[in-house]
Amino acid sequence: MMYLQKFITKNIFIVILIVFSQLQSQRTLTVGGTNWTVTIPSITEAGDNYAGTYESSTSQIILAASVPLLLTNGKVSMHYTANPVWNSNLILSAKRTGDGTTTCVACSISGGTTYTIIPPTADIELFRITAVLALASYSNIPVQLQLSGVSVTLPAAGYNSQIVFTISDL
């Protein structure tokens, strides 16, 4: 009887470890919002230049993210890709303008409250979410975009890019 009890306890512990390892990999990220079209005023005087820096609304992009329970983290990162044409003198940046909403009391969201330059192709961290004793689930996390480097020296064209957000462990 004692052997059977140890066997059952050991198997329950193994099942708990398997379930826990599956929860570790279940980070999710949903991206919403609208496309941002920068309105750049016309130059009316010879020798004038553009303002150079433009900002979107404070909630241009809305993120929802969840991180599994028990002392885990989620790192939300970003990069951009040309879609199809981009000028490397134009600089895209993003910042988190709020915490969003959550029901998790012991969870936290940190970083990303100042503009971070978005690189092409290689991810850079925007912010982190930490789950302590429960599933850290955040919705309505607002993100603002900034475009700088606009100048009369850039070739006239329509420039487009796509920002890619990812979530991973630390």
C-alpha–C-alpha distance, residues 66 and 107, integer Å: 11
pLDDT tens digits, residue range 26-77? 789 999 999 999 988 877 777 778 888 999 999 999 999 998 866 688 999 9
How far is it, in rounded angstroms, from Cα 115 to Cα 95?
5
**Architecture, CATH, for domain 27-35+49-168:** Sandwich (2.60)
Peptide bond into 84 cis (omega under 30): yes
Each residue of 106-144: pLDDT tens digit? Answer: 899 999 999 999 999 899 999 999 988 788 899 999 999
